[in-house]
Amino acid sequence: MSGRGDLRHPYATSDAGAPTSGRGALVVIGDLLLDRDVDGAVERVAPDAPVPVLDERCAVARPGGAGLAAALAAADGRDVTLVTALADDDGGRLLAALLATAGVELVDLGLAGTTPEKIRFACGGHPLLRLDRGDGGRVGPLTAAARAAIGWADAVLVSDYGRGVAAADGVRELLGGGPPVVWDPHPRGVAPPAGVTLATPNAAEAARFADVGGVGAVGRGATAARDPLVTPPPRDPLATPPPRDPLATPPPRDPLATPPPRDPLVTPPPRDPLATPPPRDPLATPPPRDPLAAAAAHAAILRARWEAEAVAVTLGARGALLDAGGPIPIAFPATPADGGDPCGAGDRFAATAAGLLADGAAPIAAAHAATEAASRFVAAGGAAGFARRTAHDGAGARLPRPAVPTAGDTRMRASGSVPAAGRVVDDRAAAGRSTPSAGRAAPAPAGSAADEAEARALIAHARAGGGTIVATGGCFDLLHAGHVSTLQAARQLGDLLVVCLNDDASVRRLKGPSRPLVPAAERAGVLAALACVDAVVAFSEDTPCELLERLRPDLWAKGGDYAGAPMPEQEVLERWGGRVVLLPHHAGHSTTRLIEEAAHRAAS
């Protein structure tokens, strides 16, 4: 092992040269792990214990942690430099060789310890056990080579796995005022420095960071969380505790902490059945009851606390939610992937977003493309599938380049694309969700009491099963591809989609006396025939607010080209903890344009 004065890995490269690929050059900073996948067959039980015996058939070693993010970015065709800490052991040397094969330039800070490894055992692809080993250790200081690499980077991705590289002296200070920075945080790591371009916590991390008493409470100079593997010193049971200050504010309660066990010999005080509960504040906003709504609340807190340009909370099969400073967050639904492997999806998301920022994309476009890339990555087998493909294809294998936004549409197309002509896709079946509308009777006349009653019954059934209720609305006069994509994307946000439809009188007030072209009953029938729509309810007012008060959905999904004007639905949903989210805009689709084009052709 190298001496304490020189912790650099002997096989790591250190010359951080100029970029050569033509795409934006990316520097990844973070902790390196060695992932091993062992797959085999179980055909017998051990004679000495009632446990299965796994006969190894295939074993693959691959870079994990920040190494996976770097390898993915290199497979996209970028010049990638990884600033990390390698141990001087067999695991460290194997990682250096794997990353060199992947085309990743290494700048090693040195690790005074052993390589952290995660070994996953599976039988026929089904996970059996994960074994963790390796203690990590002290990370060396930032080197001149690391500073030089960051200096020419077009973007920086900090992939923090809580093992010390992101917290190394000088890293946070060096990132200020430089290229765009994507920070992928970890509960055991440090919070992002103020001013990062994009932070990408997952839902659990966002909830923990958003807790004012939890990790990451301060964006500037926050410290790492206590290591849960370190045993605290024993408490003296005979010691007298210090006197408690009656005026002191008690420390915040950790929502993840396990409460102390109740003494079974202590009788709790009797509850007074006549006691009046404390009055509920009618102005208080109830806590969000849907994961997407909770993510929106946490993203808003973190963006303000970390002074970030944007925060994208990744939500697994639900996609991602982005708070970019506007009044309403943007939801990017994920494409359903049955049987996929989500391992590494967060690294795929962060690497794609950072790469597109390096190419000059805006955070909204980068987060949208990153959601789509992560969906494809999961469907293709996740990190293990990527390792198998690159091992089979050899060094230099390249993935399809993520789509970049056009000049006319910085928000790009929606994740729920329109199926090709002649092909019918039931997106609920693809997502493995229930289909409340399957086998139902024909829709009642638009605006009828039976119409709304059916919707409320479906909502009650879905909510009883813990489902998320999504609502969206509009005129839907001359249904077009943009409408269908928006409805598909809205359905992917939850478990049941209700369409609030402007009736004929409402459309005339909004669009003029010549509209609608299609009466409400026919518009409702066409919408109800879509696989992604569970119920259609018409309303006669200018806005659906009164109808929403009765239906009480968890989410209101707003499609189209939202210009930032106040949205009355937002205030209504917040009364019961619901949220309004934006869906990606579809450029080039407009009912008004279709009508004008038809009139022009008829006149010519």
- For residue range 29-83, what is the model confidence (pLDDT) as tens digits? 999 999 999 999 999 999 999 999 999 999 999 999 999 999 999 999 999 999 9
For residue 230, is it within any domain? no
Q: What is the model's pLDDT at position 18?
A: 34
User: Cβ–Cβ contacts within 10 Å for residue 58, how many?
Assistant: 10
β-pair partners for 532: none
> Would you call the peptide bond into 291 cis, given omega within 30 degrees of 0 as the criterion?
no
**335 and 431 fall within a common domain:** no
Instruction: Specify whether 547 is located in the same domain as 439.
Output: yes
Is 600's pLDDT higher than 90? no
- Block residue for tokens 């494809």: 376
317 or 247: which carries more pLDDT confidence? 317
Contact of 350 with 69, CB cutoff 8 Å: yes
Q: 3-state SS of the chain: helix, strand, coil percent to 5?
A: 30, 20, 50
Residues 348 and 432 reside in one and the same domain: no
In this prediction, residue 252 carries a pLDDT of 55
Task: Give dist(CA 491, CA 498) in Å, integer.
Answer: 9
Q: Are residues 109 and 197 in the same domain?
A: yes
Identify any residues that bridge with 157 across adjacent strands, giving them in sequence order. 28, 182
Q: What's the domain range around 585?
A: 427-603
Mark which of 339, 369, 393 sits at the end of a domain.
393
Check whether 294 has a pLDDT greater than 60. Answer: yes
Render pLDDT for 358-368 as a digit per residue (tens, 0 to 9). 999 999 999 99
Q: Is the pLDDT of residue 424 over 60?
A: no
More confident residue, 474 or 444: 474
Residue 527 in domain: yes
Q: Above 80 in pLDDT, residue 451? A: yes
CA dihedral 581, 575, 306, 325 (to 10 degrees): 40
User: Sign (positive/negative) of CA torsion 191, 195, 201, 204?
Assistant: positive
Q: Reply yes or no on whether the pLDDT at 88 is more than 90.
A: yes
Residue 438: strand, helix, or coil: coil
Please indicate, yes or no, if residue 248 is contained in any of the structural domains.
Answer: no
Q: Is residue 246 part of a domain?
A: no
Same domain? For 201 and 119 the reply is: yes
Give me the pLDDT at residue 336, please. Answer: 83
Domain end among 377, 393, 409: 393
CB 34 within 8 A of CB 63: yes
- pLDDT of 260: 61
Q: Which residues pair with 87 in a beta bridge?
A: 111
**Statement: residue 23 has pLDDT above 50:** yes
As a whole number of angstroms, the distance between CA 129 and CA 28 comes to 30
- Residue range 155-173, pLDDT digits in tens: 999 999 999 999 999 999 9
Q: What's the CATH code of the domain at 302?
A: 3.40.1190.20
Q: How far apart are CA 334 and CA 202, in angstroms?
A: 14
C-beta separation of 340 from 378 below 8 A: yes
Both 486 and 370 in one domain: the answer is no
Taking the C-alpha atoms of residue 85 and residue 98, their distance in angstroms, rounded to an integer, is: 15
Domain check: are 433 and 380 in the same one? no
Query: Would you say residue 518 lies in a domain?
Result: yes
Q: Which residue has the higher pLDDT, 451 or 581?
A: 581
Among 103-107, 427-431, 511-515, 552-556, name the one with the lowest average pLDDT.
427-431
pLDDT at 1: 31
Would you name the residues annotated as active-site residues? 347
pTM above 0.85, yes or no: no
User: Taking a C-beta distance cutoff of 8 angstroms, is the pair 159, 347 a contact?
Assistant: yes
b/e code 464-496 from CB counts within 10 Å (16+ = b) = eeebbbbbbbbbbbbbbebbbbbbbbbbbbbbb
Task: Give me the percent of the chain exceeding a pLDDT of 70.
Answer: 70
- Taking alpha carbons only, the member of 477, 465, 448 closest to residue 536 is 448
Spatial CA neighbour of 559 closest among 289, 308, 241, 330: 330
Q: What is the pLDDT of residues 461-470, one digit of tens each?
A: 999 999 999 9
How far apart CA 377 and CA 316 sit, in angstroms, is 12
Pairing of strands 104-108, 80-84: parallel
Answer whether residue 508 shows pLDDT above 70: yes
Question: What is the residue whose two structure tokens read 């009765």?
Answer: 550
Q: Is the pLDDT of residue 229 over 90?
A: no
For residues 353 and 448, membership in a common domain is answered with: no
In 3-state terms, what secondary structure has residue 321?
A: strand
Q: Cis ω on the peptide bond leading into residue 270 (within 30° of 0)?
A: no
Of 378, 393, 408, the residue at which a domain comes to its end is: 393
Q: Where is 498: in which H helix or E strand?
A: strand 496-502
Output 53 or 389, whichever has higher pLDDT: 53
The model's confidence at residue 447, banded by pLDDT at 50, 70 and 90, is: very low
Residue 107 has pLDDT above 90, yes or no: yes
> Tens of pLDDT along 303-321?
999 999 999 999 999 999 9
Q: Judge whether 31 lies within some domain.
A: yes
| Same domain (yes/no): 78, 201 | yes
Checking if the pLDDT of 345 tops 80, the result is: yes
pLDDT tier at 436, thresholds 50, 70, 90: very low
Distance CA 400, CA 509 (A): 47
Q: Note the pLDDT tens digit of each residue in 170-208.
A: 999 999 888 999 999 999 999 999 999 999 999 999 999
Q: How confident is the model at residue 214, as a pLDDT?
A: 43
Residue 399 has pLDDT above 70, yes or no: no
- What percent of the chain has pLDDT above 90? 62
When pLDDT is cut at 50, 70 and 90, the band that residue 216 belongs to is very low
User: Worst-scoring range by mean pLDDT, 184-198, 518-532, 548-562?
Assistant: 548-562
Q: Give the residue, 444 or 338, on which the prediction is more confident.
A: 338
Instruction: Evaluate whether residue 247 is within a structural domain.
Output: no
Q: How confident is the model at residue 245 (pLDDT cuts 50, 70, 90)?
A: low
Q: How many C-beta neighbours within 10 Å does residue 457 have?
A: 12
Q: What is the model's pLDDT at position 283?
A: 44
Query: With b meaning 16 or more CB within 10 Å and e meaning fewer, what string describes 262-274?
Result: eeeeeeeeeeeee
**Side-chain-side CA neighbours of residue 387 (13 Å):** 23
Q: Do residues 381 and 481 share a domain?
A: no
Per-residue pLDDT band for 526 (boundaries 50, 70, 90) equals very high
- Per the prediction, the chain carries an average pLDDT of 80
pLDDT at 571 exceeding the cut of 50: yes
Q: Domain holding 546: CATH number?
A: 3.40.50.620
Give the mean pLDDT of 260-288: 56
Nearest to 12 by CA among 157, 146, 147, 116: 146
Residues in the chain: 604
Split at pLDDT 50, 70, 90, the class of 231 is: very low
The three-class DSSP label of residue 473 is: strand
Name the one residue in this structure whose structure tokens are 């606390």.
305
Lookup result for tokens 């052709």:
601
Nearest-angstrom CA–CA distance, 324 and 547: 30
Query: Model confidence at 136, in pLDDT bands (50, 70, 90)?
Result: confident
Assess whether 323 and 446 both reside in one domain. Answer: no
The pLDDT value given to residue 251: 57
Q: Report yes or no: 111 and 136 within 8 Å, Cβ to Cβ.
A: yes
User: 598: which 2 tokens?
Assistant: 């038809």
Average the pLDDT over 398-423 and give the result: 38
pLDDT for residue 362: 96
d(CA 507, CA 519): 10
**Whole-angstrom distance, CA of residue 117 vs CA of residue 98:** 14
Query: How confident is the model over 341-350, as a mean pLDDT?
Result: 96
Q: What is the pLDDT of residue 565?
A: 76
The C-alpha angle with vertex 474 and arms to 470 and 480, in degrees rounded to 5, equals 100
- Is 580 a domain residue? yes
- Considering the domain architecture, whether residues 313 and 459 belong to the same structural domain is answered as no
The contacts of residue 517 (CB under 8 Å, 6+ apart) are: 477, 478, 595
Name which of 400-409, 563-572, 584-593 the model is least confident about.
400-409
Task: Domain count for the chain, please give it.
Answer: 2
Pairing of strands 52-65, 80-84: unpaired
What sign has the CA pseudo-torsion 342, 344, 346, 349?
negative
Per-residue CA distances from 347 to 192, 372, 402 (Å):
17, 13, 15
- Which among 204, 202, 64 is positioned nearest to 134, based on CA atoms? 64
